[in-house]
Amino acid sequence: MKIFWRTTWRVLKWLILLVLAYQLWFFAHILVWKWVNPGATSFMSIRLDELREQNSKAELKHQWVDYSHISSHLKRAVVAAEDDRFMQHQGFDLRGIEQALKKNQRKGKSVAGGSSITQQLAKNLFLSPSRSYLRKGQEAVIALMIELLWDKRRILEVYLNVVEWGNGVFGAEAAARHYYRVPASQIGPSAAARMAVMLPNPRQYEKAMPAWVIRHASRVQARMRNSQIP
């Protein structure tokens, strides 16, 4: 029996060390990315692999631009549509999560997630679109690291530069040029609202934007003036 418990304890210690090393790997990347812009994210790599299954020469549309070169209308629209308490919370919008749970209960299925911009960024940078409690837990840990190491301006800058905005289209600059043939700095209020409401399902809305999404864009545009941004 003693041999069994000693072996079990050794295995547990190694597992704990492996988990800590894995978290340290995330932490180190987030620390470096406080100053250095990330290259390809996990979501980008996954999407590129999918595209290359159809076309071996496929490439993503992506171009990094500094925060100051992204339209304030787009920044406000994304905050209004995705996380209107972005400047108040520390990575988790508890009120938004509560509202999402109530909405899901009313609908009888999962129709809202309540994830903050920080949580969505954590998922985009490191994880996959799959849904599981384990992935959600890891997302929360990474979100805490991001909020600890970065300010809100850096969080929003990176998010706007890496989020998916269409089939192989990533980041505000590529999206602005893809949809409106202008740089991200020149996106106006109406276009910004339409771009923001695409984010939950960009590849689907790129093909056709349902009437209810267009109406949602109008509501987002009306709320934008009250959106707080860094």
Task: Kindly state whether residues 218 and 126 are assigned to the same domain.
Answer: yes
For residues 104 and 179, membership in a common domain is answered with yes
**Mean pLDDT, the chain, as a whole number?**
90
Is the torsion defined by CA of 166, 169, 175, 179 positive or negative? negative
Are 41 and 12 part of one and the same domain? Answer: no
Q: Supply the CATH number for residue 111's domain.
A: 1.10.3810.10
- Positions of the chain with pLDDT under 50: 104, 109-112
What is the structure's pLDDT at 84? 92
Tell me, yes or no, whether 26 and 138 share the same domain: no
Identify whether the C-beta of residue 34 lies closer than 8 Å to the C-beta of residue 153.
no
CA–CA gap between residue 40 and residue 60 (Å, rounded)? 10
Are residues 18 and 88 both part of a single domain? Answer: no
pTM of the model: 0.90
* Single-letter code of the amino acid located at 48: L
Residues 7 and 101 both lie in one domain:
no
Q: Which domain holds residue 95?
A: 33-51+60-226
Q: How many CB atoms lie within 10 A of CB 96?
A: 19
Q: What is the CA radius of gyration of the chain?
A: 19
- Asked whether residue 91 falls in the same domain as residue 28, the answer is no
pLDDT value, residue 112:
47
The dihedrals phi and psi of 200, each to the nearest 5 degrees, come to: -65, -25
How high is the pLDDT of residue 3?
Answer: 72
Distance CA 84, CA 28 (A): 29
Angle at 179 (CA atoms; ends 45, 192), nearest 5 degrees:
95
Number of folded domains in the chain? 2
Give yes or no: residues 86 and 3 share one domain.
no
Spatial separation of the C-alpha atoms in residues 67 and 155, rounded to whole Å: 10
Residue 85 structure tokens:
């308490």
Q: What is the pLDDT of residue 99?
A: 64
Spatial CB neighbours of 138, under 8 Å, sequence gap ≥ 6? 126, 127
Q: Are residues 72 and 185 in the same domain?
A: yes
In a shared domain, residues 138 and 122: yes
Residue 138: per-residue pLDDT: 94
What percent helix, strand, coil does the chain show, rounded to 5?
A: 65, 5, 30
User: By the 8 A CB rule, do 44 and 60 touch?
Assistant: yes
Asked if residue 43 and residue 99 are part of one domain, the reply reads yes
Encode pLDDT of 128-157 as tens digits. 988 888 899 999 999 999 999 999 999 999
208: Cα within 13 Å, side-chain hemisphere = 2
Q: Which amino acid is at 153?
A: R
Distance CA 225, CA 73 (A): 9
